[in-house]
Amino acid sequence: MTDSADLERHYRRLLVFYPKAFREQHEQEVLAVLMAGAADGQRRPRASDCADLLGNAILAHLHQMKLHPSWDYRQVVRKSLAIEARHPRRSIIVRVAVGVWLLALTAFVYTAGPGGWWGALLVPAAALHFYLAYRLRHTLGR
Amino acid sequence: MQEATFLVLTALAGGSQHGYGIITDVERISDGRVRLRAGTLYTALERLAADGLIGVDREEIVDNRLRRYYRLTPTGEERLAEEALHLRSNAHAAIERLARIGGVATA
């Protein structure tokens, strides 16, 4: 098998991680670009191209699920908080329950686990849940 | 607008191009600073097409493979012009202030 056929096979295998719709639309184009950018006698995909393809495959899946990619996380947070605010009663219960559960988990890690400072890592998370529940209580009052 | 997006639109402002053509053109425009990778390029092209800033110009078969040429849409032209003016005014402000403290000569 020639080097370039070998290389193309490797790249084609990486494209499997993309959503089906994306592959149907762009697979040949992406392969053409990858092969055009390959060095003479190159048999293996470059590590940077692999990372780029895998990362962008994940982005394509997120896009397909209508989720915003990570760089737009603020919008995701804002949206989920807005959804919570529409159902404050239920959300408060969930927030408090999660907070209590996290604290229980912390207590468990401290007593039964190997202990150490990292057991307290969950405390800020629990505090955040309590704070959000507290904020929701205000929407309830309005 | 991200720099890669800006450069892709700038490349297409020079006429319709296919994927690898865009990559080499972007490299030239940016003086070799930006070399787009295949995955990143097609993520950008998908998004730009969804936003209506670019469209497919034509398709050809080269070496048994589909080759798609992209072009700037009128909306894309507008957005690129807007962004270019913003960048110019920002750059102008920076150069002017730096000149005042003796940083660089005013262009």
The lowest-confidence range among A100-104, A106-110, B31-35 is: A106-110
**Do the Cβ atoms of B38 and A49 come closer than 8 Å?**
yes
**Is the pLDDT at B107 greater than 50, yes or no?**
no
Please give the average per-residue pLDDT across B10-17, as a whole number. Answer: 96
The lowest-confidence range among A27-41, A65-79, B73-87 is: A65-79
Give the ipTM of the model, two decimals please: 0.85
User: Which of B20, B23, B65 is closest, CB to CB, to A28?
Assistant: B65
Q: Which of A7, A26, A27 to mutate to test the interface with B (most CBs of B within 10 A)?
A: A26
User: Which of A28, A33, A60 is closest, CB to CB, to B43?
Assistant: A60
* pTM attached to this predicted model: 0.66
Query: Mean pLDDT, chain B, as a whole number?
Result: 93
Q: Which of A11, A16, A33 to mutate to test the interface with B (most CBs of B within 10 A)?
A: A33
B37-56 pLDDT tens trace:
999 999 999 999 999 999 99
B22-41 in b/e form (b: 16+ CB < 10 A) is: bbebbbebbeeebebbbbbb
CB contact under 8 A, B38 and A37: yes
In chain A, the N- to C-terminal Cα span, in Å, equals: 72
Report whether CATH 3.40.50.1220 matches the domain B3-100: no
Residues of B with CB under 8 A from a CB of A: 18-20, 23, 37-43, 46-47, 62, 65-68
User: Which of A26, A48, A55 is closest, CB to CB, to B42?
Assistant: A26
3-state secondary structure of A51: helix
Q: Which of B23, B42, B57, B58 to mutate to test the interface with A (most CBs of A within 10 A)?
A: B42
Tokens representing A43?
A: 């048999």
Q: Using CA coordinates, name the residue in chain A closest to B22.
A: A33
- Listing DSSP states for chain B in one string gives --HHHHHHHHHHHTS-EEHHHHHHHHHHHTTTS----HHHHHHHHHHHHHTTSEEEEEEEEETTEEEEEEEE-HHHHHHHHHHHHHHHHHHHHHHHHHHHTTSS---
Report the pLDDT value the prediction gives residue A88, as an integer from 0 to 100: 84
Please give the average per-residue pLDDT across A32-46, as a whole number. Answer: 89
CB contact under 8 A, B67 and A32: yes
Distance from CA of A75 to the nearest CA of B (A): 17
Give the list of residues 6+ apart from residue A46 with CB closer than 8 angstroms, or none. none
CB contact under 8 A, B40 and A22: no
Report the pLDDT value the prediction gives residue A116, as an integer from 0 to 100: 62
Dist. CA B58–CA B17, nearest whole Å: 9
B15-42 pLDDT tens trace:
999 999 999 999 999 999 999 999 999 9
Strand B17-18 to B54-62 pairing: unpaired
Report the pLDDT value the prediction gives residue A28, as an integer from 0 to 100: 93
Dist. CA A24–CA A116, nearest whole Å: 51
Distance from CA of B32 to the nearest CA of A (A): 15
Domain ranges of chain B: 3-100
pLDDT > 90: percent of chain A: 24
Query: Mean pLDDT, chain A, as a whole number?
Result: 82
CB contact under 8 A, A55 and B39: yes
